[in-house]
Amino acid sequence: MNLRPAYIAGVAETPLGEVWDHSELSMAAVAAHEALTEAGLTFADVDALFTNYMGEEGTVQLGEYLGIMPRYADSTDLGGAAFEAFIHHALAAIHAGRCEVALIAYASRQRTRRSRRMTRESDNSTLGAQFELSYGLPGPLGHYALIAARHMYQFGTTSEQLAEIAVAARSWAVMNPKAWSRDPITVEDVMESRLICDPLHRLDVCLVTDGGGALVVTTAERARDAAKRAVRILGAGESQTHWSIAQMPDLTRTAAVVSGREAFAMAGITPADVDVLEPYDSFTITVLLALEDLGFCGKGEGGAFVEGGRLAPGGALPALTSGGGLSYNHPGAFGLLLLVEAVRQLRGEAGERQVPGAGIAVAHGVGGLMSTASTVVLGHD
């Protein structure tokens, strides 16, 4: 089957950090304009729209705001993994001839609005309210803490090993002028930060910031006028496992087992081919499990794998190169910004934090309560 290839032809971040002079919609519009300009396209060219967490009915409010009446729309709710899944879906839609120019956009002001809640169940008849929240389990923090505790019990993973991931993220953030947290930290700093849900410390947990971004996915023909080199989508995959944490079949195996297998098979690559990895880092344990489930190391070996700065600048597997959700920005659904960073690394425009000769990049989204995963492999023709 000879499917026409699809490309990411434009990327942009919205304003980041604390944003007081925008609405979410205006942030997304500014980023969309920048990404489309980079792609050599305009709002008039967009015939497919992808977003979520921008208000009721997903794409509908954003579409109106941007003046887009798409012939293909998708507001799939996979949490932090939604945006890598949108790439997957846009790729399939382009393959099937259902669209030519897909705009993926998102913005959040969760920091300035103080809208982040740990008690997400407002209706006490939901399964979550009956069987989780009534026990005081904070979401998603408590769910990830239970996963980390089980991984430690089963494989001997240590808090120091998890801390290595936060330290690696921060060491990249030091080189990113847009990062929220840029002061260098050590493993000891993470260990001495407040325990909030054992075994997770404050510095094992991502930031809460405003932010977002936009991506343009299109065909080779439409990407021809792009201002910068378009990056090819080589593979994509997604999956999900559970919502209630007690329903997760194995706390140490995530949906990345399936999403990674699908994406890597489509791209015809193995983990050894990956030059730069952008794994979702809502928590340090999120990264550790992604490394195992995507096949960068064996099950249970993630702790030893991240030791010695392997993910940090100069390490064997450059990962979290923006500084990640742990140190750069985390606007609620961080997956879109993983893709922005992956594209910039492949274009060689990541400045001080550029990974030399990056040819294959993987963005891996994780959402919900370690519920969902979606993996995208990007590269050049």
**Nearest distance from C-beta of residue 77 to other proteins, angstroms:** 22
Handedness of CA 308, 314, 316, 318 (dihedral sign): positive
The pattern of x and - marking residues 199 through 228 that bind other proteins according to CB under 8 A reads xx----------------------------
The pattern of x and - marking residues 148 through 187 that bind other proteins according to CB under 8 A reads -xx--x----------------------------------
Between 139 and 235, whose beta carbon lies closer to other proteins? 139
In whole angstroms, give the CA distance from residue 284 to residue 30: 31
How does DSSP classify residue 283?
B
* Among residues 9, 73, 185, 197, the one that binds other proteins under rule CB under 8 A: 197
Cα Rg of the chain (Å, integer)? 19
Between 62 and 145, whose beta carbon lies closer to other proteins? 145
In whole angstroms, give the CA distance from residue 162 to residue 168: 10
Q: Which residues of 23-59 are buried (b: 16+ CB within 10 A; e: fewer)?
A: ebbebbbbbbbbbbebbbbeeebbbbbbbbbbeeebb
Between 60 and 149, whose beta carbon lies closer to other proteins? 149
**Nearest distance from C-beta of residue 284 to other proteins, angstroms:** 15
Between 35 and 148, whose beta carbon lies closer to other proteins? 148
**Nearest distance from C-beta of residue 121 to other proteins, angstroms:** 10
- Residue in the structure block whose two tokens are 């989204």: 365
Closest CA relative to residue 99, chosen from 243, 250, 277, 218: 218
Between 14 and 284, whose beta carbon lies closer to other proteins? 284
Task: List the beta strands (DSSP E) in the chain.
Answer: 6-13, 48-50, 72-74, 101-108, 195-197, 200-201, 211-219, 231-240, 276-279, 361-367, 372-379
The pattern of x and - marking residues 113 through 152 that bind other proteins according to CB under 8 A reads -----xx----xx-x-xxxxxxxxxx--xx--xxx-xx--
**Nearest distance from C-beta of residue 197 to other proteins, angstroms:** 5
- Examine residue 331 and say whether the peptide bond preceding it is cis (omega within 30 degrees of 0): no
* Annotated catalytic residue 106: no
Between 143 and 222, whose beta carbon lies closer to other proteins? 143
Closest CA relative to residue 104, chosen from 17, 41, 11, 30: 11
In whole angstroms, give the CA distance from residue 325 to residue 327: 6
Q: Is 217 helix (H, G, I), strand (E, B) or coil?
A: strand
Verify binding: residue 251, other proteins, rule CB under 8 A: yes
Contact 263, 269 (CB under 8 A): no
* Annotated catalytic residue 280: yes
**Nearest distance from C-beta of residue 120 to other proteins, angstroms:** 11
**Nearest distance from C-beta of residue 249 to other proteins, angstroms:** 9
Verify binding: residue 369, other proteins, rule CB under 8 A: no
User: Residues binding other proteins: what is the number (CB under 8 A)?
Assistant: 35
Interface residues with other proteins (CB under 8 A) are: 118-119, 124-125, 127, 129-138, 141-142, 145-147, 149-150, 153, 194-200, 244-247, 251
What residues are labeled active site? 280, 328
